[in-house]
């Protein structure tokens, strides 16, 4: 399903669609900008072709892929496996729109809770997740092998509660107004 989302403050629209195998080279380009260590191309191809629990999306703007994200859904839990926006396109709510798409997919797949790991130093991503109701519940020591950095483990939910529904509505409205 294709979702036409609200214009960013700069006026460009982000069009979010399920990730296809053909999208992987462009996704890898953003991956290199976004993360100190990257998933190999095989990881994306395997996720797309062989993992029935996985849901991946790309966001297009100005004719190219500028954002991507993915979740695994296992019973009631959705795990954000990745989320990134190309460097030139940050600060335009594209990360937020992609996160919203992941939350919508989690709900569509009947998940109640959502979780992720984020680097302790990644305050930008933590801010984004906090905005969407994620709180830190624990940390995993030396989780990232490139620099032994700790991961914060964040959770959000109950996604199906009226409280969370109202929060999402308010956030969507704020994006539409911006």
Ligand X SMILES: CC(C)(COP(=O)(O)OP(=O)(O)OC[C@H]1O[C@@H](n2cnc3c(N)ncnc32)[C@H](O)[C@@H]1OP(=O)(O)O)[C@@H](O)C(=O)NCCC(=O)NCCS
* Residues annotated catalytic, as ranges: 117, 129
Q: Which of 59, 70, 95, 133 binds ligand X (CB under 6 A)?
A: 95
Q: How far is CA 134 from CA 3, 24, 172, 178, in A?
A: 24, 28, 17, 22
User: Count H helices, E strands: the chain?
Assistant: 5, 8
**Distance in Å, CB of 71 to ligand X, minimum:** 12
First to last CA, the chain: 25
Does residue 14 bind ligand X (CB under 6 A)?
Answer: no
Task: Find the binding residues for ligand X in span 20-49 (CB under 6 A).
Answer: 34
Which of 85, 102, 152, 156 contacts ligand X by CB under 6 A? 85
Report the distance separating Cα 104 and Cα 19, nearest Å.
Answer: 16
Q: Decide if residue 90 touches ligand X (CB under 6 A).
A: yes
Residues that bind ligand X (CB under 6 A): 34, 83-85, 90-96, 116, 118, 122, 124-125, 127-128, 131
């Amino acid at each position: 399903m294709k979702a036409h989302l609200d214009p960013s403050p700069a006026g460009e629209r982000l069009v979010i669609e399920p990730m296809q195998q053909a999208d992987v080279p462009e996704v890898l380009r953003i991956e290199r900008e976004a993360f100190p260590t990257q998933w190999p191309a095989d990881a994306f191809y395997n996720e797309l072709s062989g993992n029935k629990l996985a849901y991946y999306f790309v966001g297009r703007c100005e004719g190219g892929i500028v954002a991507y994200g993915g979740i695994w859904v296992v019973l009631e839990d959705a795990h954000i496996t990745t989320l990134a926006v190309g460097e030139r396109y940050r600060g335009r709510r594209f990360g937020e729109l992609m996160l919203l798409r992941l939350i919508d997919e989690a709900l569509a797949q009947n998940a109640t809770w959502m979780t992720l790991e984020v680097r302790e130093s990644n305050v930008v991503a933590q801010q984004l997740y906090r905005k969407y109701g994620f709180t830190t519940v624990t940390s995993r020591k030396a989780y990232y092998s490139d620099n032994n950095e700790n991961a914060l483990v964040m959770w959000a939910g109950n996604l199906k509660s009226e409280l969370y529904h109202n929060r999402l509505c308010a956030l969507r409205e704020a994006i539409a107004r911006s």
